[in-house]
Structure 1
Amino acid sequence: MRFKGLDLNLLVAFDVLMTTRSVSRSAEQLHLSQPAMSSALGRLRDYFGDDLLIQQGKRMFPTAYAESLMPMVHDVLRKVDAVITTSTNFDPATSQRTFRIIASDYVTAAVIAPLVRTLAVIAPQIKIEAVLPSDGSAELIAQGAFDLLITPEEFISPGQPAELLFEEQHVFVGWKGNPIFADKLTEQVVMAASHVGVHMGNQRTSAFADSMMEKAGRFRQIDVIASSFTIVPWFLIETNRIALMHERLARRMADMFPLAIAQIPFPFPSMREMIQFNRTRSGDEGLIWLRERLREEGAMPQP
């Protein structure tokens, strides 16, 4: 379909080219041959009268004009996507839709993985793509590139709607053979112990529990720093180290590893885990359904 002489399919090609900055990767993503993708870029250049992408060495870089077009094209495609998804009746039993979710390894293991097992029965053709958060997660939601972002309340973007998924408590976790767990934990014992901390992302951001400890002036001896919660048990087993962990994840991990769990022996805030989505998807029946399933899973009694 053409609009004012422009094949509107080329807008999709433009969007992918600007994201990948590679003809070959764009062709792969759009399931086209490389010559067809090169032809699409040539037609875009002819229509806009600009190079759009310039080869420098082995990399391609957008021109200033292409940079100015990018947010407008993103916005157009996002609105078209919203029209398509909200105008179609959603039936989970027959839908073949793919939902793209940004979530931490903790949320993926504790909530999304159990939900996927449920979906295999009630929505067998639905696909879930879960990726870890990054510094650009909020922008991916704003662009409509991903459907949902699940993140602590402190990290949500004020520019898009968000709703509570669940509130999470934290516990101390350690190897079952760790003598610290022979008696009830005290604050003195906790502060004298060796700890495993978690720093995430390129900015090495402290996990919620670790940052709350620091804000309260409780500075621990952290001897190991992990990049994700799912590898923490490997740093605890057969050692006297302990770690702060989300209770949901800790109890699931205790089914697979020889771990002991103890309550925190001093006041500690709960963590509000939120679901954020693009405001243009507010009426999306599929996302409304998925968010409800996530809330149900988050409210399930812990093992």
Structure 2
Amino acid sequence: MNFATLDLNLLRVLDALFCEGSTVKAADRLAMSQSAVSGALSRLRNALNDQLFVRQGNRLVATDYAAAIEIGLREELERLEALLAPRATFAPQTAEGTFRIAASDFFAELLMPPLGDLLQKSAPNIRAQLVDLVPHDYVASLEHRNADIALIPDLVLPEWVNREPLFHSPFHVIARKGNPGIEGLKDGTRMPMDIFCALHHVLFSPEGNLAAMGDAALTRVGKRRQVAMTVPVFSGVCRAVSESDLIALVPAQLASKVADTFGIRVFEPPMEIDPALIICIWHKRSDNSPMAAWMRSQVFDLMKALDVED
């Protein structure tokens, strides 16, 4: 038998014949004509090289070969039916699984705490994991890190990736409360350009770059800053600022979140910096995955509440 050319619809006919022992009753079961069932039986006999059934009075009796495959055939058909059945309504309270989020540690502060609280209350058996982005190639996080979603700045994406805009993030300047370089400045005001450029900076850069969006904005007005160090995680940037006279440009939402914890003050930057648009990306293959779709919607709701546009 050449399985590649076998019409799988014939297997449904074979199963009905096993159940009914009659081409007439099998036809009724399948809503087919008796002649169509007889034709299907003939094709099955040719394909499987066996009579399959012999007539005994008014009933068809399975041959030894057919009897040997009856139970296995029914099990496989039931397995296929379950596989292709419409998805049941997703129930977060009883669902189990792991959902991996590729993102910077910015989201350890702003996403994971409220997401953890939400999951404990609504989906206690779903585990959320925050993993690092693939350096230099954020989209690859969906493949190489097996992430379900990635949270990244907006960029051009390949056609197999879906995106959802989440929030705009302006940049603010942070400095420790006792930093002598900011003496006399009021919280929330614009830091003067001469102070911003005179003080040394700590820069967030997982790749160790010495320039970022703030430097491009400075260049446009003919200025430059002094980068004293780079740190690959935002928590390290905030810690370095809180324990030194360094300052830093960080996302506004993060600055607001950690100001009290780290004992830092927050200012507007002296130059205009376009707010970064943060998006969620995921592989199109998981569009219809019930758990992934539900988790994405929870992340969307939590993150869109952060939207700020200066």
**Category of TM-score, reference length = shorter chain:** 0.5 to 0.7
Q: Is the CA contact 1:196–1:232 (under 8 Å) kept in the aligned structure 2?
A: yes
Match of 2:230 in 1: 225
Mind listing any 5+ residue stretches in structure 1 that lack a counterpart? Answer: 5-82
The TM-score normalised by the length of structure 1 is 0.64
Shift of 1:140: 4.3
Of 260, 266, 270, the match for 2:275: 270
- Whether 2:131 is the aligned partner of 1:131: answer yes
Match of 1:239 in 2: 244
Q: Is the CA contact 1:170–1:209 (under 8 Å) kept in the aligned structure 2?
A: no
Shift of 1:114: 2.2
SS in structure 1 at match of 2:165: strand
Cα distance in 2 for residues equivalent to 1:300 and 1:264: 23
Shift of 1:96: 1.2
- The 1:286/1:156 distance shift into structure 2, 3 A limit, reads same
Cα distance in 2 for residues equivalent to 1:206 and 1:293: 35
Match of 2:297 in 1: 292
* Per-residue Cα deviation, 1:246-301 (whole angstroms, up to 9, x for no partner): 11111221131111111123211011111110111112232222222112212336
SS in structure 2 at match of 1:89: coil
- For 1:100, give the aligned amino acid: R
* Per-residue Cα deviation, 1:112-162 (whole angstroms, up to 9, x for no partner): 332212221121111001101123652342479221011111375554111
Cα distance in 2 for residues equivalent to 1:290 and 1:207: 35
Match of 1:177 in 2: 178
* Per-residue Cα deviation, 1:62-111 (whole angstroms, up to 9, x for no partner): xxxxxxxxxxxxxxxxxxxxx89x94532112111210111110122212
Cα distance in 1 for residues equivalent to 2:224 and 2:159: 31
Match of 1:260 in 2: 265
Alignment of 1:88-107 (within 5 A): 88-107=88-107
- The 1:198/1:228 distance shift into structure 2, 3 A limit, reads same
Cα distance in 1 for residues equivalent to 2:204 and 2:144: 29
Match of 1:9 in 2: none
Question: For this pair of structures, how many residues does the alignment match?
Answer: 219
In terms of Rg, which structure is larger? 2
- For 2:163, give the aligned amino acid: A
Which aligned runs of 4 or more in structure 1 are off by greater than 6 angstroms? none
Cα distance in 1 for residues equivalent to 2:144 and 2:134: 15
- For 1:165, give the aligned amino acid: L
- For 2:97, give the aligned amino acid: R
Match of 1:109 in 2: 109
Shift of 1:171: 0.4
Alignment of 1:187-202 (within 5 A): 187-201=193-207
RMSD after superposition? 2.9
The TM-score normalised by the length of structure 2 is 0.62
Cα distance in 2 for residues equivalent to 1:276 and 1:223: 33
Mind listing any 5+ residue stretches in structure 2 that lack a counterpart? Answer: 5-82
Cα distance in 2 for residues equivalent to 1:301 and 1:161: 21
Determine what percentage of the aligned residue pairs are the same residue.
Answer: 22
